[in-house]
Structure formats: structure tokens, C-alpha cells
């Protein structure tokens, strides 16, 4: 089991989540973060920290977000680790809650 970062993180990237993770298993891309599924210990601390409500337990993932299981696993292998909070992306507030953001994902 793991937690998964989903679509609403894209173009927001608030990074509050990384501050609470006890095993530092977040990885950072240009406009999205992912969780490494083999490193996550399922503690659930990050889920309530995300202002965009983008983090879900794998077993509570909405159907439309299932694709993000694979995206997290794949990109956690190639993106660098992030352990400290930084400023959100410019226009994060404007992008928060929009649909169809998957096509905005930069790899
Ligand atoms: Fe880190 Fe816990 Fe969130 Fe997993 S559930 S990513 S271990 S804070
Ligand atoms: Fe993304 Fe939420 Fe973390 S927007 S960077 S999952 S705090």
C-alpha cells in the first residue's frame, strides 16, 4: 500500500506535504510531485497537509485518478528527492481545482 499524488497537484505544487513525511519519499518534477510507492510507509501524515487535497491512499483513490498509481511509480524513479517546502508555483491558486490537468504534466 502507498499514498498517491493525484491530478490536482499539477501546476500547484504547494509542497506542504514534503515537510511531514517521515521517510522523505517525495520526488519533484517541474510542476508535480510524486510519492515513491516502495518507500511510503503509509503513515497518512501528508494527506491532510495538501491544500489542494491531491493526496489519497491507494485504496481510496477515485476511479478517474487510478492512472496516477503508475505515474507516481514511474516518475519517482527518475525525479530528484525533495525534503523541504518551497514556494508554490506561480498561478497555483488559479490552477487549484481545475479539471483536465493531466495534459499539463511536465516530465
Ligand atoms: Fe510520506 Fe507518510 Fe505520506 Fe507515505 S503516507 S508519502 S510515508 S507522509
Ligand atoms: Fe502537490 Fe499538495 Fe504536495 S499540491 S506538492 S501534493 S502539498
pLDDT digits (tens, 9 = 90+) for 53-85: 999 999 999 999 999 999 999 999 999 999 999
Ligand nearest to the CA of 37: 1
User: Over pLDDT 70: what percentage of the chain?
Assistant: 100
C-beta separation of 17 from 107 below 8 A = no
C-alpha grid cell, residue 99: 479539471
Ligand 1 atom with least separation from CA of 24: 1
For the Cβ of 91 lying below 6 angstroms from any atom of ligand 1, the answer is no
For β-strands 3-5 and 55-57, DSSP reports them as antiparallel
Which ligand is in closest contact with the Cα of 14?
A: 2
CA 40/CA 43 separation, integer angstroms: 8
Distance CA 104, CA 22 (A): 29
Q: What's the predicted TM-score (pTM) here?
A: 0.98
As given in the structure block, the three cell numbers for residue 107 are: 516530465
Which three cell numbers mark 9? 497537484
Span 30-39, average pLDDT: 98
User: Atom 4 of ligand 1 has which residue's CA nearest to it?
Assistant: 40
> How many angstroms separate the CA atoms of 39 and 75, rounded?
13
Amino acid at each position: 500500500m502507498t499514498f498517491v499524488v493525484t491530478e490536482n497537484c499539477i501546476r500547484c505544487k504547494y509542497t506542504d506535504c514534503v515537510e511531514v513525511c517521515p521517510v522523505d519519499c517525495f520526488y519533484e518534477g517541474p510542476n508535480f510531485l510524486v510519492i515513491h510507492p516502495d518507500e511510503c510507509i503509509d503513515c497518512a501524515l501528508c494527506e491532510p497537509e495538501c491544500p489542494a487535497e491531491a493526496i489519497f491512499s491507494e485504496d481510496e483513490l477515485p476511479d478517474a485518478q487510478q492512472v496516477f498509481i503508475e505515474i507516481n511509480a514511474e516518475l519517482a524513479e527518475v525525479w530528484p528527492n525533495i525534503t523541504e517546502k518551497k514556494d508554490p508555483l506561480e498561478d497555483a491558486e488559479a490552477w487549484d481545482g481545475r479539471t483536465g490537468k493531466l495534459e499539463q504534466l511536465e516530465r
